[in-house]
Amino acid sequence: MAFSAHLADEDLKETFELPDKIDQKAKKLADLIHKSTHFIVFTGAGVSTAAGIPDFRGPQGKWTLEAQGKRVTTSSECTLQAIPTPTHMALVALQDSGHLKHLVSQNCDGLHRRSGIRSEIISELHGNSNRETCRRCGTAYLRDFRAVASHERTVYNHRTGRKCTLCRGELMDTLVHFGEDLPEGTMGRARAHAERADLCLVLGSSLRVTPANSIPEVVGRRRGGKLVVCNLQMTPLDGLASMRVWTRADELMVRVMGYLAVPIPSFILTRRLELRTVKKPRGFQVSVQGLDVDGTPASFLRSVKVERRVGKAEPYSFEVREKLLPDSGLTLSLSFMGHYNEPDLELRHQYRSGEDERSCYTLQFDPSSGQWTTELEAGQSAAAKGLSNMAI
């Protein structure tokens, strides 16, 4: 990564185009996306400012304020409670419609993954503040809290203080600090997609941090490649851009999606729950675990209650000294971290076979209504109800 963070006043100047000019460029960009065979997007902090997360080089950005000797007061809760922006959700829609082939991001706020971007199509170059990995076995964990080292001694000490549940190895945060190398696998995957891309859209990035900025540069310099840059400030790659848009990311993307006739979905918080029941000589064992859509262990539960037994720490495992007969029910009460004011959820699981079972539930929470919906992964409806229906 680059070692310098601060810019001259001229570089910080923001430029805004007139709405009709933005609309013309949005229509042209939509046509480019429609015709593209390998479309990639490169995002920076500017895509998250509308979610209340400060950028770095804007007038109120972290590095701008530091350069002016002003205090930076961003709360760590800011990223956990932030609602993904229209741009975040537009990228999810482009993923689901097949237009977007890969997303490369400099952001560490976790909003792309939380919005619904699948792990296999994103390269988070500078890490994810909600993701940690095991130094020994490489297992990754997604957390509904900041999985970041305390950095009491140095920012280069990435130990979070937690242990891997599989091998008890040390867990390390995934953040990349100035002076550190980017993960080879992540950077290599991003570069491979850039070398295939015929269109790269940059959203909300000053393109001044190396080597991340080399990804869109690959597309801009390649014969037949088109680079489109949307940012309020000048970037070093403006001269390579086939189109330069001077506006906020949301202003552009709402128009682009309209011309593509691809609706931007509302944000729905999606969780996945694995439930295992194992027969024992005197009863059975129940284990409950959060999983991401790709199978990555995910921590989003504060506590789990199975019948009358309460677990407050992972892994959630319960010994029940009762016979669990086929077609009998099992009641789980789930309490969440609650960053979006999610109410507790009561889940009624139907135990069917009388043998060991593994079931996965999709839990979806709508922040606008304060309601949960649940569904078995196989598509069968699960009996569940919110213990509280308080909306945000």
Supply 229's token pair.
Answer: 């840059």
**CA neighbor of 290 nearest in space, from 302, 278, 279, 305:** 302
The pLDDT of 229-239, averaged and rounded, is 97
Report the pLDDT value the prediction gives residue 86, as an integer from 0 to 100.
Answer: 98
Report the pLDDT value the prediction gives residue 70, as an integer from 0 to 100.
Answer: 42
**Residue-wise pLDDT tens digits, 319-364:** 887 776 766 778 999 999 999 999 999 999 887 766 788 999 999 9
Question: At 61, is the pLDDT very low, low, confident or very high (cuts 50, 70, 90)?
Answer: very low
Supply 104's token pair.
Answer: 């490369």
For the chain, what is the largest distance between any 2 Cα atoms, rounded to a whole number of angstroms?
74
Supply 110's token pair.
Answer: 């976790």
Indicate the pairing of strand 226-230 with strand 243-245: parallel
Distance from C-alpha of 7 to C-alpha of 377, rounded to nearest angstrom:
50
Helix (H, G, I), strand (E, B) or coil at 127: coil
Report the pLDDT value the prediction gives residue 113, as an integer from 0 to 100.
Answer: 96
Report the pLDDT value the prediction gives residue 343, as an integer from 0 to 100.
Answer: 97
Helix (H, G, I), strand (E, B) or coil at 291: strand
Question: At 151, is the pLDDT very low, low, confident or very high (cuts 50, 70, 90)?
Answer: low
Supply 266's token pair.
Answer: 């509302």
Distance from C-alpha of 193 to C-alpha of 17, rounded to nearest angstrom:
31
Report the pLDDT value the prediction gives residue 178, as an integer from 0 to 100.
Answer: 85
Report the pLDDT value the prediction gives residue 354, as an integer from 0 to 100.
Answer: 62
Distance from C-alpha of 189 to C-alpha of 90, rounded to nearest angstrom:
23
Report the pLDDT value the prediction gives residue 3, as an integer from 0 to 100.
Answer: 41
Residue with tokens 């229209």: 86
**Residue-wise pLDDT tens digits, 107-132:** 999 999 999 999 999 999 999 999 99
The pLDDT of 155-167, averaged and rounded, is 89
Judged against a pLDDT cut of 90, whether residue 67 lies above it is answered with no
**Residue-wise pLDDT tens digits, 360-390:** 999 999 999 999 999 998 754 444 555 543 3
The pLDDT of 80-105, averaged and rounded, is 97
Return the percent helix, strand and coil in the chain, to nearest 5: 25, 30, 45
Whether 253 and 50 have beta carbons less than 8 Å apart is answered as: no
Distance from C-alpha of 345 to C-alpha of 330, rounded to nearest angstrom:
14
Pick 269-386's CATH classification: 1.20.210.10, 1.10.443.10, 2.60.40.1120, 2.60.40.1970.
Answer: 2.60.40.1970
Strands across the sheet with 170-173, in order?
159-163, 170-173, 131-134, 140-143, 298-299
Per-domain residue ranges of the chain? 9-129+175-260, 269-386
Distance from C-alpha of 123 to C-alpha of 105, rounded to nearest angstrom:
6
The pLDDT of 135-158, averaged and rounded, is 86
Exposure pattern of 296-305 as b/e (b: 16+ CB <10 Å)? bbbbbbeebb
Length of the chain: 392
Percentage with pLDDT > 70 across the chain: 85
**CA neighbor of 363 nearest in space, from 293, 295, 278:** 293
Distance from C-alpha of 120 to C-alpha of 80, rounded to nearest angstrom:
22
**Residue-wise pLDDT tens digits, 172-228:** 999 999 889 899 999 999 999 999 999 999 999 999 999 999 999 999 999 999 999
Question: At 164, is the pLDDT very low, low, confident or very high (cuts 50, 70, 90)?
Answer: very high
Distance from C-alpha of 48 to C-alpha of 54, rounded to nearest angstrom:
7
From 112, 126, 158, 349, the catalytic residue: 126
**Residue-wise pLDDT tens digits, 236-281:** 999 999 999 999 999 999 999 999 999 999 999 999 999 998 888 8
**CA neighbor of 125 nearest in space, from 143, 145, 103:** 103
Question: At 4, is the pLDDT very low, low, confident or very high (cuts 50, 70, 90)?
Answer: very low
Residue type, 220: G
Q: Class assignment of domain 9-129+175-260?
A: alpha beta
Question: At 10, is the pLDDT very low, low, confident or very high (cuts 50, 70, 90)?
Answer: low
**Is 102 part of the annotated catalytic residue set?**
no
Judged against a pLDDT cut of 50, whether residue 158 lies above it is answered with yes
Identify the bridge partners of residue 301 per DSSP, sorted by sequence position.
336
DSSP 390: -
